[in-house]
Structure 1
Amino acid sequence: MSPETILQVPVFSDLANLAFTLRREVFVTEQGVPAEEELDAFDLTADHYVLIKDGNVVATTRVLHKEEGGKLSRFAVRRSERGHGVGGRLLAFVLADLKAKGMPRVFMSAQSDKIGFYEKFGFQAYGDEFLECDIRHRMMKNWVDD
């Protein structure tokens, strides 16, 4: 296996810019999300994470700090790296990092065809399916209600 590094990176950094490039590649180019909806003001206050393999950012996500917990969003893995576990390693790192920082409640709006992936990490789908950028989604959470 090639060497990997997972980091939380500042929004105004070269690594964050590489993460934004990867997000455009996945969401805008592959999935047809409008470019003006992919980058947003939440990027300025989010925690950004990257997985670097062989010197390249191959997976990324961000976490928004919300009253109800951390909202995971913009989870993207380079097409050539899918199915090789990098997304799972990034997600496990982010969940452990948030728990260590006192944020054990994590939720997201997940693309419906990715629900099985997130369930492997303790997420549970809830609510009805809805469209976001013309892609089917469901809400998911990673905690047990009190």
Structure 2
Amino acid sequence: MVVEQIRPEVTWYIRQQVMWPDKPIDFVKLEDDFEGFHYGLYKDHVLTSVISCFEKGDELQFRKFATLKEYQGQGLGTYLLNYILDDAIKRGFKRIWCNARADKKGFYEKFGLADTSKAFSKEGVTFTIMELIVSRKSSG
């Protein structure tokens, strides 16, 4: 498995196929896509998972995290999310968060993200804001 930084337009097909297959490709494009950093996980030279990251101060939001259905359940998404979280912590972000589909909340909890109880709906899907607050232990 290999994680690489990719261009935003490379993420759009997987986003659309996994998250909103009944919507046109334009539905999954983000207004600020070209301001973020996008990563793809390749297995046997096939792009299987994507995630988009947006930095604001000491916070990192990850969005549009998706793994092709035929590759789900193989640990690929876990690998990619661990890669992003490890990198964000190393880079000093104090809060890492996402808008998680409510039915996927348990997945994110395995990574230490907590439900903020702030929820909203989009196109009939309920989302909840999940966050990881990174605490630094003082040395001294």
Q: Scaled by the length of structure 1, what TM-score is found?
A: 0.83
- Tell whether the 8 Å contact from 2:41 to 2:80 is kept in structure 1 after alignment: yes
2:56 alignment counterpart: 66
**How many angstroms does 1:129 deviate by?**
2.7
**Cα root mean square deviation, aligned:** 2.0
- State the 4+ residue runs in structure 1 displaced beyond 4 angstroms: none
Separation in 2 of the partners of 1:49 and 1:122?
A: 21
Corresponding position of 1:19: 11
In structure 2, C-alpha distance between the alignment counterparts of 1:25 and 1:37, rounded to whole Å = 11
- Separation of aligned partners in 2, 1:34 and 1:20: 10
Q: Is the deviation greater in 132-141 or in 33-42?
A: 33-42
Instruction: Report sequence identity in percent.
Output: 26
Paired residue total: 136
| SS of alignment partner, residue 73 of structure 2 | coil
- Structure 2 residue aligned with 1:39, among 12, 24, 29? 29
Gaps of 5+ in 2: none
| Greater mean alpha carbon deviation, residues 126-135 or residues 57-66 | 126-135
Alpha-carbon distance, 1:145 to partner: 7.7
Residue from 5, 8, 26 that aligns with 1:8:
5
Distance 2:14 2:104 in 1: 18
Give the Cα–Cα distance (whole angstroms) in 2 for the partners of residues 144 and 47 of structure 1: 20
Residue type matched to 1:77 in 2?
T
TM-score, with length taken from structure 2: 0.87
* 1:95 match: 85
Gaps of 5+ in 1: none
- Kindly tell me: are residues 134 and 36 of structure 1, through their superposed partners in 2, closer, same or farther at Cα, counting changes over 3 Å? farther
